[in-house]
Structure 1
Amino acid sequence: MPRSHIGARRLLQGVARTLAGALVLGLATLSVTSPARAADAIRVGEINSYTRLPAFTEPYRLGWTLALEEINAAGGVLGRPLEVIDRDDAGKPGEAVTAANELLMREDVDLLMGTFFSHVGLAVSDFARQRQVLFVAAEPLTDALIWSRGNAYTFRLRPSTGMQARMLAEEAAKLDAVRWASVAPNYEYGTSAVATFREALSALRPDVEWVDEQWPPQGKIDAGATAQALAQAEPDALFNATFGPDLAKFVREGTTRGLFEGRAVVSLITGEPEYLAPLGAEAPEGWIVTGYPWDTVDTPENRAFVAAYQARFDDYPRMGSVVGYAAMKSVAAIIEKAGSTDTDAMIAAAKGVMVDTPFGRITYRAADHQSTMGAFVGRTAVRDGRGTMVDFVYRDGAEVLPPEDEARAFRPE
């Protein structure tokens, strides 16, 4: 639907709501603004898998809440406060699209933000394309979101599976391992992660061979059977992309069965506190991972973020906290640069917009709408009875992205 039609629809809806309120409450209510919404607020429709994966999404909510409070305390955006209307998609694409439609039609939001799972993000991205509304995708990691299924209305914050897999492949290529096996959840994120890691590692090490792959359903891993099957293949090294409760089960069963003894493990996002911390003293040691060592990243940006987060919530930040905070800051930066909430203006502004985040300044590329946010790459260790990251470096996302002219060719439009 063209934005001009959407604007007309919103005007008619606003008139209808006002007339309905007058009939029910009397003429006196015509001058009263609903306490749920400031009259001139810019409305952000936020969708995420809060009940499906609270370990990540609840810190994510706190992250965007902190950013929202900072933005509004500083005067808002374009002199107007930001307001967030959030919805839970339960990790289901259909529910996410329903929520997006409700936010646009009933709540009159100016743009959409959020999502966690890759298949959910793709569904909301397609909705945004059809309804011509800006979507700032915070977390979904699949490369398809910005390349093979990219569209004019979707911009993505986090470094993708491909970006992080390439970072890990560079470290994996230094190992003596030749025989590799993989384990990943059987949906878009997992299949994309394995495919990209295999391609990147094989390009660096043509002698590598893949001897097994395991595809447990997300959230329903049979960790014992998975570990046993991997062990029977006798690989030299493993690539893992499980996360959350599945990761915990896999680590425990793999440790019990001796799967990790004498084998290198390269593991996507395992160094993120929401997945590593719950393992406690059972956390694996020496795995090569991407993650967020929040307490030992000694940069001014991270120190300021950690201090503000702890002061506000009396808790330490997770990776989700960074993502939520940076996503909301991205929304504010885009609107400020656009000078309005007109969708076409915001899309134009998002191309090349710069945003200050706890990881430093990032840019959203014009060619593929991917931000240059990077990731920390290091090894797991156990310190004081808890899992942590050591020997880490920050890899700028721009270092592992293809040149913009090449990336543009990956997109359908």
Structure 2
Amino acid sequence: MPSQSSSVATANSGPLSGIRVLDLSRVLAAPWAAQILGDLGADVIKVEQTTTGDDTRAWGPPFLQDGDEATFAPYFLACNRNKRSIAIDLAKPEGAEIVRKLAAQSDVLIENFKVGGLAKYGLDYVSIKKAAPNIIYCSVTGFGQTGPYAPRGGYDFLIQAMGGIMSVTGPAADTPGAEPTKVGLPAVDLFTGMYAAIAIQAALRHKDQTGEGQHIDCALLDSAVAMLANQSATWLMGGPVPQPMGNAHPSIVPYRTFPVSDGHIVVAVGNTKQFIALCDILGRPDIGADPRYQSSPGRKEHRDELEAELTQEFAKWTKDSIIAAMSQNDVPGGPINTVDQVFADQQVVARKMLEPTPSTAGTELPLVRFPAILSASPATIRRAPPQLGEHSVEVLSQVLKLPADEIAALCKRGVIGADK
């Protein structure tokens, strides 16, 4: 029978303690979902191919050395903590049967194969449901299980383009050298993973109430469309087709980067009170009192004139001096940090976002904690990202209760791979 969730999770176990997740996914979107569940206390068993494992194990350099031979690549390190790795050859009938048996002992299965790709192994939803009638089976694909694009493979960059994100990102169209630009991180993969994790938890709640499992169909393109948010709402309400605006905001002014004497800062003024305070800081109360700028629609209408005046004033300040003055007067703004500066920022340090975690080999791995802080049932990092097949023997003996000689025979036949 599948594992049963605890009615009350302790502070050390996490709110999803007692939930077992079988993670057949690789790369980023679906592994990100599985990692979120693992951070929240679920027991996540990552199923990998015996020879290469997750594709992202090889996505370097750089590589972080772990012990004498093994290494970690950045992508894999970022989305595979709190998981146990079992290496299985799915193409062997015995291997597929092991997955079905593990599914029967699990609450959730996550996969991101192409539509229909697992059917040939007897590991699609219909087949798995026979072995695990109440399973929550989450499929993450580029375009979903239905529709004319369903058979296609989907990648973050492609979906950022097709989903409209690149059409509103980057310099304004009339800027020299402007072209459609992707977000500087795999935003669609990450948001799809988050949507999948939310959907899985909703399905777990439904299962608690009814005992019924279900199939979750999560698509990168659907997530990208949902993420258009205010941009799509503007057009759907009869507004113009949104265009790229660089660092400017389509509705709020001033809400962009400004050059100062030693670099750039971000100004994020959201209302008229903050705008007047900013003008006072800059020594230009006359701008704050200008009738053209007394409302958000007015500031938007006269954006070019207003921002030109503000740009002249910001140029008289250094980054540190203007940011300090804005902070003291409750005007939102701040520096544009590089990644190294992010982890040196006193707020990030105070919040302990970086959580060094030792691997099995003793290497300290630089991991970033789950961002939400739950006061009664906090997320934890209990396991470092695993080496390929690190837990094959452990999972087969503990979860499926297989004897040692049977496990050894499976390894000898190449059905199972086990980390030495």
TM-score (norm 1): 0.30
TM-score (norm 2): 0.29
- Structure number with the higher helix fraction is 1
Taking CA–CA contacts closer than 8 Å with sequence separation of 6 or more, which of the two structures ends up with the larger relative contact order?
2
